[in-house]
Amino acid sequence: QKEVEQNSGPLSVPEGAIASLNCTYSDRGSQSFFWYRQYSGKSPELIMFIYSNGDKEDGRFTAQLNKASQYVSLLIRDSQPSDSATYLCAVNLFAGGGADGLTFGKGTHLIIQP
């Protein structure tokens, strides 16, 4: 049984601060890791993906992966009100993808306070 765990929140962060979102997964064989953002009533949109241990930065976003601890996180710097959404952590067993659907966590509801 593949499981992806996230704190549902809400996580409230003041505008301009760093938002830190965390995720743990149960299947040690997982190869690829994704963070999706989902606004209410909309489908998810990809923020970042990461395959290797360490940090990966893209603009204001940094994904961090620690396979030994089965832990992946997303940092959002200089948080903006438009970042307020539910952030879904997703895991795939296959590095190449395609053969297996993603397993999603329940998502963390992030609120950026102006």
Residues forming the site for other proteins (CB under 8 A): 31-32, 34, 41-46, 49, 51, 88, 90, 92, 94-107
Instruction: Report the alpha-carbon distance of residue 38 to residue 44 in Å, rounded.
Output: 4
Distance from C-alpha of 3 to C-alpha of 17, rounded to nearest angstrom = 30
What's the CA gap between 89 and 21, in Å, rounded?
Answer: 9
Q: How does strand 54-58 pair with strand 19-25? A: unpaired
Cβ of residue 93: shortest distance to other proteins, in angstroms?
9
- 50 vs 76 by CB, closer to other proteins: 50
Cβ nearer to other proteins, comparing 18 with 26: 26
* Cβ nearer to other proteins, comparing 78 with 110: 110
